[in-house]
Structure 1
Amino acid sequence: MTHIPYDGVRCTLFGTLLTLLTLSAAAQSWRVTVLDAEDRQPLPCVILRLGRHTYLTDGAGLALVPTDAGQGGGRLVGSFVGYEPFSIPVESLRDTTIYMRPAREVLDAVEVVAQRTPKAQTMVGDVITSDDLHRTIRQDLTDALTMVKGVSSISTGSGEGVPVIHGLSGNRILIIRNGVRQEAQQWNVDFGTRLHAGHAGMITVLKGAESVRYGSDALGGVIIIDSPLLPYGEQTTGRIGTEYGSNGRSLGADFALAGSPLSSVAYRIQAAYATAGDRSTAKYLLNNTGARSGDLDLSLGWRGERGLVELFYNLSDHDEGIYFGAQLGSEDLLRERIKLGRPVETSPFSRSIAFPRHRSIHHNLRLRGEYRSDHLGTLALCLAYQRDRQREYHFRRMDRSSIPSVSLTLDNAQGDLTWSKSYGPWSSEVGSGVTYSNNYSQPGTGVVPLIPNYVRLSGGLYGVQKYQTERLALEAGSRIDALYLNAQGIDLYSRPYGGERRYLNLTAMAAAHYHLLPSLALTTQLGSAWRAPHVAELWSEGLDAAGGLYLKGDDTLGSERALKWIAAIDYSSSALRASVEGYLQWIGGYIYKAPTGDFFSVLSGSYPLFRYRSTSAFLRGVDAEVHWSVTDRISYRVLGGIVLGNERSTGRYLPFIPPFRLTQTLDVKLPLWRETTIGLSHKYVAKQRRFDPDQDLIPYAPPAYHLLGLEAGTMIPLTGEQSLSIALSVSNLLNTEYKEYTNLSRYYAHDLGRDVRLAVTYHF
């Protein structure tokens, strides 16, 4: 599982696409094969860079580099952890085999080690490259992750959702950005990730139980977001882009600039802004679903002979309206609206954001240093600080709507120290980390805080040992974690609540990777994981306006403890790549929220009452993907998966488990300009028949649905290194009216209708 073949934003008429599919194709790509210079074995996940483009070798060590990408000269640069990098002039590049030598005294590979370590062969996961991510200007993290098999989403309406890996989501999915754990979801998993995927250089999705390396909360997997590599010693490059979307009449702008004033110093600046009005389904508007978002990334680095120091800062500001249809006046009206499943009345389109609304501001500052010694190994230190502010505004009497009902601030500090060294076929890694969080609510809101103020302190120590030969890789590790939690709050009746919690846990993992044939590999992993209940699950008491729910926690909840086994078999050749993954996971103390059947009334209306509960759960599933290069110009990709979840004691179905889904894409490259592509996509989502009506507000799941999409894009060369890219996409082409089972707003409205987007980007 290396490169995820996804050609970004493309759109054209269906009849034109079928005509073009009959064209014969001549060879338009260089076949670059990368092997180990000593044992002649293929090297997967080698990073190849040519200008602005990034490619990854597959399991056979093969990457297809379009010949058009080399227009204008330049060099193909390859890098891989533990190997000496190479650089080849484009003029001499043809179908070729490159032999990479293991690094011994050469330190140039520090650049790759510092920022981006490709997923180890013993881990089961997928990689999304920068080329896949930069096709659209405004793309949130969850949208990008649905390109990966086994990943879906849970949404709270028309805005951003949260990723789901193998049926698990929220606090069971750990998100790491540039080596820093993202902590904002400690409040409530429905707040979303609030991360701009278009600024990432690479996203790695690990699907095993990864608590040994990454600590608690990694029961379902880990999402690792890395910024683009800083361009040490390279010329200044940049881009300016704009985007328009028909659904919500959205507008977006994007800017990036990167350079290296000195060979040892490099920088990168990235900024994006987007605005949208009311979104719409196939037949009606979703009033008050407008949004404003701004993102700023700043990176600065220094690289010496034996190490580097890099500083990263991110600011994200998101302001979104909350759908009016989920804010109702009485219990009878709420029951009637849920039964109807759509709004009775709608207002004309508006770009304004009224009450209710919520705004989140996220600051992320990271300092990372690394020192590498031939004899002592590599030592890396990462220090980080985060501040997250969440404000929610509801309908309130006496002109108090402008005062936030929820006003939370979370300060978080992290420190991680790791040491690693390779010697012969063996490699060792030892690491430790400490995390401190302080959450407090702003006084004077006139509303009891959603969660109590709290302090959270955690620390962990782990060790991993790996053995690797020509065809076999083995890995094992263990970790010990300790966590202290102290929460203090005042409830609706002026009674103090909260208290202290202490947790201590051991986790372990073992994994193996074996090449049955040069093009066929088997990977298996068995790991344990744990997660302490978060404050929101223990002591929530308040309105989740985005989902239209009233939530109550349970302070008797204990830790979740999981055991997961996952296995994958991968086949890779020059024309065909196929992968099948299967997994089993047992979770004790599985925490979920479910309706009680009652309703809770506040000033803004009545809402269904949900409570957090726990049970012993068993999840299992299968995911598969096939990518067929029919010719050098035509490719077909299909991926699908199914996950099942039950209570172990009763056999009852777990709520909000995604149903079976299948996605197909058919892409064509045209001999026009540099990179002209068109494509057709099809998505099928089955009706979820494995659900418990007693765990839902309605006794049935939405019907199955099909969605079509069309996409087209081209790159027009200008003078020198300058170019202009134009992309057009149409999602939900037939404007189908449908509901998604994992969308919490399906009780009140349908999902989004057709959206036509146009993006124009100038590269220099």
Structure 2
Amino acid sequence: MQSRFLTLCLLFSLLLYTSAFSQNCNISITGFITDENTNKPLEFVNVYVQETLKGTATNEKGFFELKNVCKGKQHIVFSYISGENHNVFLDVLTDTVLYVEIHELNTVLESVVISEKQNNSTQNTQTLNHQHISDNSNQNLSNMLEEISGVSTLKNGNGISKPVVHGLYGNRLTILNNGIAQSGQQWGNDHAPEIDPLVANKIRVIKGVSSLEYQGSNLGSVILVEPARIEREPHLHGNTSYFFESNGRSNGINLQLEQYGSFVAWKINGTLKKSGDKKAADYFLNNTGSEEANIAIQLEKQFTENFFTDFYFSSFNTELGVLRGSHVGNLTDLENAFEREVPFFTEEDFSYDIDAPKQRVSHHLFKIHSKKYIAPKPKNKGKIIEQFLDFTFSTQINNRKEFDVRRSGRSEIPALNLKQYSYFSEIKCQKEFENNLIFKVGAQSTIIDNTNDPETGVLPLIPDYLSYETGVFTVLTKSINHWFFETGFRYQNTIQNAVTISRSIPREIVRFDNNFNNFGSSLGVNYQLSEHIQVSYNVGYATRNPAINELFSNGLHQGVSGIEEGNPNLNTEKSIKNTLSLSGKIKEKLSFETLLYYQNIDDYIYLNPENEVRLTIRGAFPVFKYKQTNAQIYGLDISSRYQFSKSVGLKASYSFIKGDDLSNDLPLINMPSNTLQASLRYQIQKPISIGATEKRRKLTNTQFEITNRYVFYQNNILEEQDFTLPPAAYNLISLRVSTNIQGQKTQWRVCAKVDNLLNTEYRDYLNRQRYFADDLGINIVLGARLEF
């Protein structure tokens, strides 16, 4: 009797479970997916429920339908062949309709470089997406940006580099770290931006004529490192990635966690990297290792529907070795070093040790930001223009220590010890008027306090100084049918109070009080020639006052192994830049973008190699001095992609640039070489099922790619303008394979690549290490990323 009762109970429970299951799993989720830029439907977007891997794909109208979805909390994943995954969290209660916009990444350059020509700017902009940043987590910020046409890298070895856009770098180029102009001791090409690119969701390069809205002393171009806002997801999510490099035996790991909590939304991002001696094709580059430890914390609080505040903190900390063979003891050895095929102090033993000469740098950023939305006004086709008030305050602390090879065991005492405090505040608002007229206005203030540690025992390269910058800007945009217009104005006042030490003996304290007024203005127009082709023209005027290092540098710049001397009589630079671009698609097969630019700069400031090498108690070094001339820089950037089929695509880019010293009828030094790059990619269209059942694992977005990069000989330079002739042209080949492994709760991304596949011996003109050694040899990189 008891066993019969138990049997009946089990049958009844099974009936209830079956009934409940059938009732709760008959929900339908339908929707439409469009490209966020063009509003066109996207075909072949994979849509699936993460908890069950039950999925479908969109048709030619961008429509999808998920049937038999269970009631409850579900994660819907949208995976596109040339885009990044887009996740939506739903508490499914009944049949649901979704309208989803995702970013199609193959607009011009497939999944690496995006050409964004949205109807809110006429400036030429290109972007690296999050997938590209993650796949290249072994690289620093500057090396990542080399993928973009018109962007080069000024280097001192492989670990120390800074970006060059259309021939301009350093103080002429503003880098925004989460909306804040990076304030550090960027005195030369050995001072890389202290930013961890892995905190960013995207990195944008504005190759414009006058970036009026952004603070800094730039002459047109801006780089924006932009972390994404925290997803409105109540569950804890994150990702972790790891990479290994054969060259330098480098290891790196990154971890990101985030949650949109009921009280506050939070995100934390941490990175650790360690590398040993790098290797050229035939020998080790001794003392070129590095260590890095970074963290970033992001908090957000949504007080009302139209008002939120966010807090951001980042800490970047690194120790970098400088090639030991670039520091020599006497004039004869220096002359020999310029001629040697293998640099001095080269040993065949690999080491993780970092000895003098080296750098130790830390950079901390604190930012608080609030935004108040004004009731938005609906636009045609459902578009909404943001109207807002915006306030930002930030503090940056930058500490740089440089260590020389010093006698009597003093190598661990820094020869340069600089600490810089920077305080920034900004208020801006945007308002929309009738007839598609949008007006933005803002005011900004920056205070910089830079001091030296007097216990170094060495006269400082850079003096103590205080700088006060105050700026205001306005930007006005208007669209009329197929036309879009943009214009604006910027005024900035800069006051510098510097305390220097005289170059003559006996040494004296010399004070300088400088007051500069800088102006900028621009006018741009964008015309839609057809549905797929548009043309843009921009002209801009900007001025830039001399930076502290250009005015007052005095002594050994250890990182670049050279003596640098400033000129306190330098004048303000005055620049006019023109750009003309044409971009579009032809029959969905060919996409392209071309950009012509011409920039004239009066009183252009440059660091000139003098016909002199100087012997000091710290060794023998070449001498460089800051000078001025009238200059012109012009060039052409071309980016294109041709899709032979849905699986096979070719992308190519070409950058031509030329700089002239007009006053002296000479070539302009330190201009990038012309480059030509092409990549052939094969992509498997359909997911590949692995494991015992189809639901266990799926390989998606599987790609194979071969890339050829040719760098031309820099023939626009004379022999007497530098200590050595420019190096020969070179050609590099690389291979890459990558795939996504989709599980029920997690997703893996695996990437393997080989750089300099043929182990080519080469030197790059913009690498100061070229005076002494070759660039990197073959490098195998393995990387994996887990999303959960």
Both structures adopt the same fold (TM-score exceeding 0.5): yes
Which digits, 9 at most, give the CA deviation of each residue in 1:551-582, with x for residues without a partner? 11111111111110111100125332100000
| Residues 50 and 742 (structure 1), Cα distance of their counterparts in 2 relative to 1, 3 Å cut | farther
Counterpart CA distance in 1 for 2:747 and 2:398 is 38
Counterpart CA distance in 2 for 1:676 and 1:170 is 38
Residue 15 (structure 1) aligns with: none
- Of 570, 584, 594, which aligns to 1:571? 584
- Of 405, 419, 423, which aligns to 2:415? 405
Compute the displacement of 1:319 (Å): 0.1
Residue 153 (structure 1) aligns with: 153
Counterpart CA distance in 2 for 1:135 and 1:385 is 31
Contact (CA 8 Å) 1:211, 1:217: kept in 2 or not?
no
Compute the displacement of 1:120 (Å): 3.3
Counterpart CA distance in 2 for 1:728 and 1:422 is 48
Residue 361 (structure 2) aligns with: 360
1:241 matched to 2:252 = no
Residue 635 (structure 2) aligns with: 621
Counterpart CA distance in 1 for 2:468 and 2:635 is 35
| Residues 185 and 32 (structure 1), Cα distance of their counterparts in 2 relative to 1, 3 Å cut | farther
Residue 556 (structure 2) aligns with: 543
Q: Larger deviation: 525-534 or 333-342?
A: 333-342
Which digits, 9 at most, give the CA deviation of each residue in 1:652-696, with x for residues without a partner? 100011111011111122243122211101100010101132221
Counterpart CA distance in 2 for 1:218 and 1:65 is 46
1:433 matched to 2:444 = yes
Q: Larger deviation: 409-418 or 550-559?
A: 550-559
1:382 matched to 2:405 = no
Compute the displacement of 1:364 (Å): 0.5
| Letter of the 2:611 counterpart | G
Q: Report 1:73-88 matches (<5 A).
A: 74=76
Contact (CA 8 Å) 1:211, 1:528: kept in 2 or not?
no
Counterpart CA distance in 1 for 2:138 and 2:194 is 12
Compute the displacement of 1:633 (Å): 1.9
Compute the displacement of 1:189 (Å): 4.5
Aligned-partner SS, 1:134: helix
Contact (CA 8 Å) 1:74, 1:89: kept in 2 or not?
no
Contact (CA 8 Å) 1:185, 1:193: kept in 2 or not?
no
Residue 201 (structure 2) aligns with: 201
Counterpart CA distance in 2 for 1:95 and 1:488 is 63
- Of 725, 737, 745, which aligns to 1:712? 737
Which digits, 9 at most, give the CA deviation of each residue in 1:247-304, with x for residues without a partner? 0111111111011122x73211110110011001001111100100111110000122
Counterpart CA distance in 1 for 2:310 and 2:223 is 21
Q: How many residues align?
A: 695
Counterpart CA distance in 1 for 2:730 and 2:313 is 42
Which of the pair has the greater relative contact order for Cα pairs under 8 Å at 6+ separation? 1
Compute the displacement of 1:583 (Å): 0.4
Aligned-partner SS, 2:336: helix
1:760 matched to 2:784 = yes
Contact (CA 8 Å) 1:119, 1:125: kept in 2 or not?
no
Which digits, 9 at most, give the CA deviation of each residue in 1:212-263, with x for residues without a partner? 222442214000111022112453211122211110111111111011122x
| Letter of the 2:564 counterpart | L
| Residues 226 and 711 (structure 1), Cα distance of their counterparts in 2 relative to 1, 3 Å cut | same
Q: Report 1:120-159 matches (<5 A).
A: 120-159=120-159
1:557 matched to 2:570 = yes
Counterpart CA distance in 2 for 1:665 and 1:627 is 9
Aligned-partner SS, 2:198: helix
Which digits, 9 at most, give the CA deviation of each residue in 1:184-205, with x for residues without a partner? 1444343011322122011111
Which digits, 9 at most, give the CA deviation of each residue in 1:597-656, with x for residues without a partner? 111223331000111111111010001010122222222110111111001223310001
Aligned-partner SS, 2:667: coil
Residue 725 (structure 1) aligns with: 749
Q: Report 1:32-51 matches (<5 A).
A: 33-34=34-35
Compute the displacement of 1:142 (Å): 0.7
Instruction: Among all aligned residue pairs of Structure 1 and Structure 2, give the percentage whose two residues are the same amino acid.
Output: 25
Residue 727 (structure 2) aligns with: 702
| Residues 35 and 422 (structure 1), Cα distance of their counterparts in 2 relative to 1, 3 Å cut | same
Which digits, 9 at most, give the CA deviation of each residue in 1:100-159, with x for residues without a partner? 9xxxxxxxxxxxxxxx99793311121222122111333211122111111011101121
Aligned-partner SS, 1:214: coil
| Residues 753 and 640 (structure 1), Cα distance of their counterparts in 2 relative to 1, 3 Å cut | same
- Of 595, 599, 608, which aligns to 1:594? 608
| Letter of the 2:555 counterpart | G
Compute the displacement of 1:464 (Å): 1.2
Residue 103 (structure 1) aligns with: none
Compute the displacement of 1:350 (Å): 0.9
1:467 matched to 2:493 = no
Contact (CA 8 Å) 1:452, 1:498: kept in 2 or not?
no
Contact (CA 8 Å) 2:418, 2:451: kept in 1 or not?
yes
Counterpart CA distance in 1 for 2:133 and 2:760 is 26
Counterpart CA distance in 1 for 2:574 and 2:88 is 45
Residue 182 (structure 1) aligns with: 182
| Residues 77 and 707 (structure 1), Cα distance of their counterparts in 2 relative to 1, 3 Å cut | closer
Counterpart CA distance in 2 for 1:118 and 1:368 is 25
Counterpart CA distance in 1 for 2:647 and 2:64 is 10
Counterpart CA distance in 1 for 2:643 and 2:163 is 29
Compute the displacement of 1:396 (Å): 1.3
Compute the displacement of 1:532 (Å): 1.1
- Of 419, 432, 443, which aligns to 1:422? 432
Which digits, 9 at most, give the CA deviation of each residue in 1:81-115, with x for residues without a partner? xxxx9999999999999799xxxxxxxxxxxxxxx
Aligned-partner SS, 2:224: strand
| Residues 98 and 205 (structure 1), Cα distance of their counterparts in 2 relative to 1, 3 Å cut | closer
Residue 5 (structure 1) aligns with: none
Q: TM-score, normalised by structure 2?
A: 0.83
Contact (CA 8 Å) 1:581, 1:624: kept in 2 or not?
yes
| Residues 163 and 375 (structure 1), Cα distance of their counterparts in 2 relative to 1, 3 Å cut | closer
Compute the displacement of 1:449 (Å): 0.8
Q: Report 1:474-485 matches (<5 A).
A: 474-485=485-496
| Letter of the 1:748 counterpart | F
Residue 705 (structure 2) aligns with: 679
| Letter of the 2:359 counterpart | H
Q: Larger deviation: 341-350 or 739-748?
A: 341-350
Counterpart CA distance in 1 for 2:448 and 2:499 is 14
Aligned-partner SS, 2:726: coil
Counterpart CA distance in 2 for 1:445 and 1:717 is 55
Residue 763 (structure 2) aligns with: 739
Residue 455 (structure 1) aligns with: 466
| Letter of the 2:328 counterpart | L
| Residues 353 and 66 (structure 1), Cα distance of their counterparts in 2 relative to 1, 3 Å cut | farther
| Letter of the 1:142 counterpart | S
| Residues 205 and 318 (structure 1), Cα distance of their counterparts in 2 relative to 1, 3 Å cut | same
Counterpart CA distance in 2 for 1:715 and 1:740 is 35
Counterpart CA distance in 2 for 1:51 and 1:381 is 40
Q: Which runs of 5+ in 2 are unaligned?
A: 1-30, 51-59, 81-86, 104-115, 378-386, 689-698
Aligned-partner SS, 1:444: helix
| Letter of the 2:464 counterpart | N
**Please, what is the CA RMSD of the aligned residues?**
3.3
Larger CA Rg, structure 1 vs 2: 2
Contact (CA 8 Å) 1:331, 1:606: kept in 2 or not?
yes
Aligned-partner SS, 1:123: coil
Aligned-partner SS, 2:769: helix
Contact (CA 8 Å) 2:356, 2:405: kept in 1 or not?
yes
1:646 matched to 2:660 = yes
Q: Report 1:53-132 matches (<5 A).
A: 74=76, 120-132=120-132
| Residues 444 and 325 (structure 1), Cα distance of their counterparts in 2 relative to 1, 3 Å cut | same
Contact (CA 8 Å) 1:139, 1:198: kept in 2 or not?
no
Counterpart CA distance in 2 for 1:411 and 1:99 is 40
Contact (CA 8 Å) 1:125, 1:205: kept in 2 or not?
yes
| Residues 157 and 532 (structure 1), Cα distance of their counterparts in 2 relative to 1, 3 Å cut | same
Residue 608 (structure 1) aligns with: 622
Counterpart CA distance in 1 for 2:392 and 2:166 is 30
Residue 499 (structure 1) aligns with: 512
